[in-house]
Amino acid sequence: MRSVSGVVLGISCNTPESKVFGEFDAHSIAVQFSFLAAIAENPELLEPVQKNLADWQRQIEASELDPAMATVIRLALYGLSFVHIFGLGVPDESLQKQVIETLLKLARE
């Protein structure tokens, strides 16, 4: 089972959990855009991702963390990934680090 704090850590380092959201470099963002284009053309390609993320949601709900808090953390990570993918209000590196540290703190409480 993935720990919620493990996934938060995965955002800022090279761990298996980071593959959920991807890295925030230009190559990874291009790959994510390609994925979006592919699922726009063939929505069935999204089914394995939907199943994987639904499984992850079930796992975090079953973790030691309150299910609502775990879901808030997951959605915050999706939002962080989203702003990087689309270049919309990307926080500077210092603030992003603070956000990740805050999410880690929440995940460990």
pLDDT digits (tens, 9 = 90+) for 38-77: 888 888 888 888 888 888 888 888 888 888 988 898 899 8
Round to whole Å and give the CA distance between 79 and 47. Answer: 21
State both tokens at 61: 């709900």
| Residue 10 confidence (pLDDT) above 70 | no
